[in-house]
Structure 1
Amino acid sequence: MINTRLIPIALACLFASHAFADDHAIMQRGYSPAESFRNFTLSQCVANGFQQHADIQKDAQIAAGGYLEIGHYPIEAYEEAVTLSKQFLAREYRTMAGQSLTLMKCIDLYHSDELTALVEKYEYALAHPDQEHGSN
């Protein structure tokens, strides 16, 4: 049985593999595992938040796939990040004129305590691979 939760992540990896086939410059940036994970989460949020803009969505999916490809956390971390990004996108953010503030939601996610808690959870797991990590 196919785990449908992994389909968006798998698609992002597929796009990223093609995008990074010829140019490995991004791979050499030297992001820490935490930075790559935060960047993945931001990219996923943008991809999910801008579905009506195909070019933005595709670029964000490719970026997310690239960060997943160079990531160090288990797949569960990325699944939790996708869920968290959807929770932030469900929030009601509007300007005084009633315009949606989708990108602001994603930026707030990037700086959120919730994302920091996820990073800390999986950083601990990286530092202590012989110990089980539970949900916080």
Structure 2
Amino acid sequence: MKSRLAALTASLVLAPSNCFAYTPTSSPEGMYRTFEINYKDMALATCITTAYKYDVNVGIDAGSSVSALRDWTYYDMEKSPLAVKALVEKYLARDYTNPLAESQIKGIKFDLLKCLDMYHSKELDALTKKVVTDPNHTYMQNIKKP
């Protein structure tokens, strides 16, 4: 699974960089999403970055996504970084041992599944409500139109 994810990441990274410049559908859509959604997406990307930190391609791509999402979200910078880190570490520490899968793939940890569980958790919902400023607002609402 890691090799497939790495191959996908590499193909996206190696794609021509000007492919994002032409149409709205070829650009990232995060700037149009609410701060609440972007905050949760940032937490998910942080979890993936942490889980796959030893896979350079995945780590670079996920880390870059975290940076972009930070730009498109307004939240309490004092409380958030440590709170997200603690939540990510809590979920990645879970033991999702599956003897059947382990017999086929040694050392499998189901880290992506843990990240998805964190993403859908009540804990992330509560943290988002606590730290996100104006959760229904979007980054694009701050951009002045000519």
TM-score, with structure 2 as normaliser: 0.64
**3-state SS of the aligned residue for 1:106?**
helix
Give the corresponding residue for 1:68: 70
- Residue among 114, 118, 124 paired with 1:109: 118
**CA deviation vs aligned residue, 1:17-61 (integer Å, no higher than 9, x gap):** xx9xx8593266411011000000000000000012110011000
List runs of 5+ in structure 2 lacking aligned partners: 1-16, 103-107, 136-146
User: Structure 1 pair 31/102, CA: closer, same or farther in 2 (3 Å)?
Assistant: same
Q: Tell me the matched-pair count.
A: 106
Q: Name 2:38's counterpart in structure 1.
A: 36
Secondary structure at the counterpart of residue 100 of structure 1: coil
Percentage of identical aligned residues:
22
Name the structure 1 match of 2:51.
Answer: 49
Distance in 2, Cα, partners of 1:73 & 1:41: 12
Structure 1 residue 126 displacement after superposition: 3.7
Preserved CA contact (<8 Å) 2:30 2:38: no
Question: Matched residues in 2 for 1:30 and 1:95: separation?
Answer: 39
Asked whether the equivalents of residues 97 and 109 of structure 2 are also in contact (C-alpha less than 8 Å), the reply is: yes
Distance between the aligned counterparts of 1:92 and 1:36, measured in 2? 28
Match for residue 90 of structure 1 among 88, 93, 103: 93
Distance 1:53 1:28 in 2: 25
Distance 2:87 2:68 in 1: 19
RMSD: 2.3
Higher RCO (CA < 8 A, seq sep 6+): 2
Q: Counterparts of 1:124-135 in structure 2 under 5 Å?
A: 126=134
- Determine which structure has more spread, i.e. the larger CA radius of gyration: 2
Task: Look up the match of 1:118.
Answer: 127
5+ long unaligned stretches in structure 1: 1-18, 128-136
Deviation larger for 39-48 or 24-33 = 24-33
